[in-house]
Structure 1
Amino acid sequence: MFRARSRTGATFLALAALVVSACSSGSSTSSASSPAAQAAELAALPEATPSALAPYYGQKLRWRSCGVPGFECTTLRAPLDYARTDAGDVRLAVARKKATGPGKRLGSLLVNPGGPGGSAIGYLQSYAGIGYPAQVRARYDMVAVDPRGVARSEPVECLDGRKMDAYTLTDVTPDDQREVDGLVDAYKGFAEGCGADAPELLRHVSTVDAARDMDILRAALGDRKLTYVGASYGTFLGATYAGLYPKRVGRLVLDGAMDPTLPARRLNLEQTAGFETAFKAFAKDCVRQAGCPLGGRGTRPEQAGRNLKAFFDKLDAKPLPTGDADGRRLTESLAATGVIAAMYDEAAWQQLREALTAAMKKNDGAGLLVLSDGYYEREADGRYSNLMYANAAVNCLDLPPAFGTPEDVRKSLPTFEKASPVFGEALAWAALNCAYWPVAATGEPHRIEARGAAPIVVVGTTRDPATPYRWAQSLSRQLSSGRLLTYDGDGHTAYGRGSECIDRTINTYLVRGTPPTDGKRCS
């Protein structure tokens, strides 16, 4: 799945994994079917702690300064394999910023920005721990744990910077069999690199594993119930926790929700349509302004899309110079990733307009490369964070691959291109990545009802590109105590993005424990 900004992120090459947060074998793309009705329910775990896990639940955290003023860090132990606790441990990095007061401390508030693969600690230290509303930070210890395989928690590594650069340049709109073979080789090389780095860990980085780790952390923090804000993929992680431990649910906010009942092909298809919706909103805004490179005033979004697709086709034949110190040129895949990156937040639309203007009118690809590099978390020195590697590791374990062969993709191309004439072809081919993963998937699509849980707030944005609004509607209906909160707007996720109504509603829930009425709408 795409990473969240709250995020899920990738280039088109890993787009399916990042955006959808899971790869799945399901082949149905018909909206007439009802995955929620057909999927099995995620079963709750026994309320009593198994004796084999008692040492983990009883551990004492030793906090220390971790170099960022105001924050403390520690390490949490969890079993590598919950079915075999004698198989060794994983060590998970945890950070917190203690409640600032005034007012009575309400406990710990765990945050997760999405991904999978996004660093929760990085998110806490750069934003949540200083940018969440003051009344929330006053009453809660703000806490984050990097999930297993992510960032500071035994990170999965797959390729060095040079090889990762080459991977991001791979053509994901193959025109002939030679280019199809090149794409398959890229996926295989990526998977082999991950498998060589962490063969045992790769079998135990599922969302269920991460949710069970969160319960150990809850106990180690001394909290009777879990209070949590998760965005994008973080909603899937939070909902999974609720399904496994419904009686331990405190105040849960799931912002930019995912639908766990959908197989990956369906997830990819619906997300493809979501990016098309977001692009049309951007195009309408762009053509109202003088100099829009996609067309003049009055240009319809469909024509703007054709103009952008024609530009991508030109790049496919002749990449643009960027002035990059490593000699990288702007390819179709990098340009498309740059455009996708800006779809997450309408605040980035001006930057995208400027980047497209430079590329389409001045043959300068530097601006789009900057957007793409930011999405990949590529540093100026050519190093990458482990976001992309952890993302694939979690996604390809959570559900079976969407497509098994290139021929499967070819058969689905018309459906994807109908969903998005601009992005459909690339997104369909991107969904092939998990077919070559070295570890078999352990999960399947499922319903999450969390019967007996306290009220859970599910937030959906009507024109969210990465987690379509319908997913929030579906998850809120599945959850026995789900309360749907709707933001009528653009961009990915809603909390902290400028809607006073959304922020006030969520703050009231977190601080006072008063959930919104089901179906409340904000703009």
Structure 2
Amino acid sequence: MGDNADAPKGVLLFLTGGPGQPGVPFVERLSKVLAPVLEDYRLVMIDQRGTGGNALRCPGLQEQMGSSDLTPPTSQAVRDCAAAIGPDRRFYGTNDTVADLELLRRALGVRKMTLDGVSYGTYTAERYALAHPRHVARLVLDSVVPQTGYDPMDLAAMRAAPRVLRAACESIGCRTDPAADLAEVVDTYGNGVDVLDALTTWEFVDPDYAEMIDALHEAANGNPGHLRGLIEGVRQGSAATAEELSQGLHASTLCLDGRYPWGRSDTAVAGRREALEKAGAELTPADYGPFDAATATGLGSMLSCLDWPRTPVPPLPNEHRRLPAVPVLLLGGDRDLSTPLEWLYDQKKLTPRARVVVVKGAAHSVQSRAASDEGRQAVFEFLLRL
């Protein structure tokens, strides 16, 4: 927490992502990123419940998924995790985090806060603004998850992949069609889950996707070894401890918050798989683009909750209610597959005072990861203007 308690523009609460990522370990790094505004704002960060030093620990699920949203876990790892957390797993939804943030505001003794969220942190910020509109001064939403919620089939990302890969290809002057190669690879090898998982992680390695584009082209022409090596490398590189990103908290929150083909987490486990298979059978190429229905129904974001035990769920807010009419900056990178730009524009429809900044060549988490300063400068100007 910043020391400038009397900052003229008040509290800037920075919300990290996941769900499952802590906040406090990033104070030093974010203080440097946000240095131009910290004479005016008091930076506050928090380890949301179930993260950091108090992380929910599920060794099997943690080992299988690491820091990924999409790597498929085994049913046993999911059941073991839920059993380890026990009945308390019903207390880790976003509504609980929102209530914690309101307690934090009261403890800080401030009437309003400015919230800056990244990825899942944008969803938390939106939910806080919907629940406590009078206590929000302005919002920065970076790499936007819309308030309508996360799609466990990740269809927007699948449809966005051709756009993202072709833009990346153009920027590096490649002479292939990575979108056509991607479609051929998924059709030939049936590895859509692995490929989408790898692509979504690769944006953190290289938002130009250069080596991935080469590997897709080789695989499309009958030589999948390079691609398989990249997929395996991504899996190994995604290893993370529960303190770094708790998969136990990740599953607990997504399963409580989410809407699935079978309903919510209070739906009986028996019958869920049948409902999932039915939903998959109803998908068309217009839904999943160069991927396939098996990708949509086989991602970790879906399977983490397919076998999650029946759990009482909280009521969800009216997700189509517009955000309060405070200034909001919607920030995204055009290479982002984790939270594709299509989600940003979905949120814009529900944001009365939205300003949109899209940074070309940037992927996920624009403020801290983009090579260009365009997004950061937009944040500074937005936060400092009257």
Same-fold status (TM-score > 0.5): yes
1:355–1:366 CA contact under 8 A, matched in 2: no
User: Within 1, Cα distance between the matches of 2:348 and 2:256?
Assistant: 25
Q: Is this contact kept in 1: 2:89–2:252, CA < 8 A?
A: yes
1:164-222 CA deviation, whole Å, 9 max, x = no partner?
379x9x996xxxxxxxxxx8xx23x2332222222233111111110111121122223
Q: Is the 8 A contact 2:322 2:351 kept in 1?
A: yes
Change (3 A) 1:377 1:192: same
- 1:401-416 matches, within 5 Å, as 401-403=260-262, 404-406=272-274, 408-409=276-277, 411-412=279-280, 415=283
Which one is further off, 464-473 or 198-207?
464-473
Once the two structures are superposed, the pairs formed by residues 226-241 of structure 1 within 5 Å of their partners are: 226-241=113-128
Q: State the SS of the aligned residue for 2:18.
A: coil
Amino acid at match of 1:446: E
Larger helix fraction of residues = 2
Matched with 2:181 is: 304
Larger Rg: 1
Aligned residue for 1:371? 234
> Does the Cα contact within 8 Å between 2:156 and 2:342 map onto a contact in 1?
no
Matched, 1:465 2:368: no
Is contact 1:356-1:368 (8 Å) kept? no
Instruction: Determine helix, strand or coil for the equivalent of 2:347.
Output: helix
Instruction: Map 1:179-190 to 2 at 5 A.
Output: 186-187=74-75, 189-190=76-77
Long gaps (5+) in structure 2? 263-271
- Partner Cα separation in structure 2 for residue 133 and residue 436 of structure 1: 41
Task: Give distance in 1, aligned partners of 2:140 and 2:209.
Answer: 27
Higher mean alpha-carbon deviation, 482-491 vs 496-505, is at 496-505
Question: What is the rounded CA distance, in whole Å, between the counterparts of 2:179 and 2:226 in structure 1?
Answer: 24
Whole-Å Cα distance in 1 between the matches of residues 195 and 252 of structure 2?
A: 25
1:10-409 equivalence runs, <5 A: 96-99=1-4, 106-125=9-28, 127-130=29-32, 132-152=33-53, 154-160=54-60, 164=64, 186-187=74-75, 189-261=76-148, 264=151, 268-284=154-170, 288-289=173-174, 297=175, 299-309=176-186, 312-313=189-190, 336-343=196-203, 346-347=206-207, 349-350=209-210, 352=212, 367-377=230-240, 385-403=244-262, 404-406=272-274, 408-409=276-277
Paired with 1:477 and 1:157, the residues of 2 have a C-alpha distance of 38
Q: Once the 2 structures are TM-superposed, how far is the Cα of residue 365 of structure 1 from its aligned partner?
A: 5.6
Shift of 1:243: 0.8
Distance 1:142 1:492 in 2: 22
Counterpart contact for 1:358–1:365, Cα < 8 Å: no
Deviations 1:266-324 (A, max 9, x none): x73223223443234345556x44xxxxxxx2x323332145436855xx7xxxxxxxx
Classify 1:363/1:398 alpha carbon distance in 2 versus 1 (closer, same or farther; 3 Å).
Answer: closer
**CA shift for structure 1 position 226:** 1.1
Distance 1:366 1:263 in 2: 30
Identity percentage of aligned residues: 20
CA contact (8 A) 2:273 2:306 kept: yes
Residue aligned with 1:260, SS: coil
Task: Name the CA distance, whole Å, in 1 between partners of 2:51 and 2:335.
Answer: 29
Work out the CA distance in 1 between the residues paired with 2:93 and 2:366: 26
Question: 2:71 and 2:233 mapped to 1: Cα distance?
Answer: 19
Supply the RMSD in Å over aligned alpha carbons.
3.8
Alpha-carbon distance in 2 for matches of 1:108, 1:488:
26
Give the residue type in structure 1 aligned to 2:234: L
Per-residue deviation at 1:163? Answer: 6.1
How many Å separate the matches in 2 of 1:234 and 1:488?
A: 19
Amino acid corresponding to residue 281 of structure 1 in structure 2: A
User: Which is strand-richer, 1 or 2?
Assistant: 1
- Compared CA separation, residues 400 and 459, structure 1 to 2 (3 A): same
Aligned residues: 365
